Structures are given as structure tokens and as C-alpha cells.
Amino acid sequence: MVKDSLYETYNAIIPVYERTSKAITLGFLNEWRRKTLNLGLRVLNDLGNTPSVLDAGSGPGNMTIELIRSGVKPRRVVLLDQSVPMLNSAPNLNYIDKVCGSFELMPFRSSVFDMVIMGFSLHAVHDLRGTYCEISRVLNNGGVLASISIGKPTNKVYRALGWLYTVIAVPLIALVFAGPRYVSYFYTIHNIYGRLPPNDEFRNTAEGCLRLVQYRDEALGLVNIIVMRKWNHD
């Protein structure tokens, strides 16, 4: 699937994005977001309560919203997304900046963020290794990546269940919660699932760019939570 069609999909589903996503994840969406952020913040706790945060592939900023709800008071948050309509639907706060761009080639100087958060966006990349290294580039030494994304189980039985879920269940759920005009857009999840590497390869691709700190499978490995840290070379 080419990038342009993927971002056209994201633009099209804005009105139904959150409620349908919650249904597809069987109501676990916000719990998984919170778990990802909490794991990342534990690693980052030596920086206190005022990190500089990049929400990469932010969409409407739901990961940032959960971060703020957790009580963290970041000194700066940047929402980065290629969809202008998605960014326009994100909250407007005086410490939040919005930037239109790709997290595969980010328009930022090196070593400017303490934390990069990604809520169901890392699986959409076309160059996974390059993206991990680009995230490392914009992180300060000791900085943290906390990501939750679609996963492809290493176990072949679970992998087959994932194929069935994305090809049959997801379109049916989208039909009920979004309506017939949006079903084809949510079928994109199956296309993404099809081209994903297995979870072990997905996380190991970061080796040399970021160091794995925490990894958790959710939903039989159909969702994965990754917390990584930039090596401190000083």
C-alpha cells in the first residue's frame, strides 16, 4: 500500500476514528495507551515531571491527551502527523505545537526531545529500521520511545487468528460502528497486518539505534507495547 492512500484513509475516517478504534480493540484502547505511557514514564522518571515530548504520528493527539490526564506536565509537546485535518482536530494548548510531516524523516534538529510517544502509528512505516534510527536522532541521550502498535504474533496459530480478525471481524465492526461508507477504509488494517514483520523481528530491527527496555504482547500478540531508550554515548 502506498503512503498517499494510507494518509487519505486517515483523513477520511476522522469523524469515526476514535469510536471505531475503541470497538476494534474491544474497549481496551485507552487502557493500552495508559499502560504504554506508564511504562515509558517509569523509565524516564529521572527527568522529573516536565519532559519535552514528541507525539509521532499523533493523529488527533489521543496519546498526548492520555499523557496529560496522567498528571504529567510536559514543558513542551509537539504533535507530528502528515494529516492536516487530524492535526486540526487535536487539542489547542499553549504548550502544544503542531507540525505537519513524516516521522520517517522528521523536520527537527537532533537531540531535542526527552520522550517520543507513538499510539498505533509505528506499524504504518515503510522503513522500520530507518524510523527507529530517526527517532534515536531526535531523542536526547537517555531519551525514551514508548510505542503501542499493531503486532503480528510470532506464534503461527495466533498469527492466523490475527489474519482472520483483520480480514473478517474488523470490517464487520467498522460496518456497525462507522457505517458502510467507511468499511473499505478500515480494511487498511488488514493490509498493514499483512506486510508487518513478526513481533520479534519488529522489535529487534531497532538494535544499534535504540535499546529495548520493555516489551509486552497484548491480545495474543496482535498488539505490542515497546519501550526503548537511546544509548548514552557520553
pLDDT in single tens digits along all 234 residues of the chain = 334 556 678 788 989 999 999 999 999 999 999 999 999 999 988 656 678 999 999 999 999 999 999 888 888 999 999 999 999 999 898 899 999 999 999 999 999 999 999 999 999 999 999 999 999 999 999 999 999 999 999 999 999 999 999 999 999 999 999 999 999 999 999 999 999 999 999 999 999 999 999 999 999 999 999 999 998 654
pLDDT of residue 9: 80
Residue 128 CA to residue 52 CA, distance in Å, equals 24
pLDDT of residue 234: 45
pLDDT of residue 231: 80
Q: List CB contacts of 193: < 8 A, sequence separation 6 or more.
A: 150, 152, 162, 163, 166
Residue 224 CA to residue 218 CA, distance in Å, equals 6
pLDDT of residue 7: 63
pLDDT of residue 14: 87
Tens of pLDDT, residues 25-67: 999 999 999 999 999 999 988 656 678 999 999 999 999 999 9
Q: Are 17 and 59 in contact (CB under 8 A)?
A: yes
pLDDT of residue 5: 58
Q: Are 123 and 150 in contact (CB under 8 A)?
A: yes
Instruction: Determine the Cα angle at 48 with ends 45 and 52, to 5°.
Output: 100
Burial of 12 per CB tally in 10 Å (0-12, 13-18, 19+): middle
DSSP 103: T
DSSP 144-170: EEEEEEE---SSHHHHHHHHHIIIIIH
Phi, psi for residue 142 in degrees, rounded to 5:
85, -5
Domains of the chain: 27-153+198-229 (3.40.50.150)
Residue 109 CA to residue 225 CA, distance in Å, equals 27
pLDDT of residue 116: 98
pLDDT of residue 50: 75
Rounded to two decimals, the pTM is 0.93
202, 205, 207, 209: CA torsion to nearest 10? -110
What is the 3 state secondary structure string of 46-86? Answer: HHCCCCEEEEECCCCCHHHHHHHHCCCCCCEEEEEECCHHH
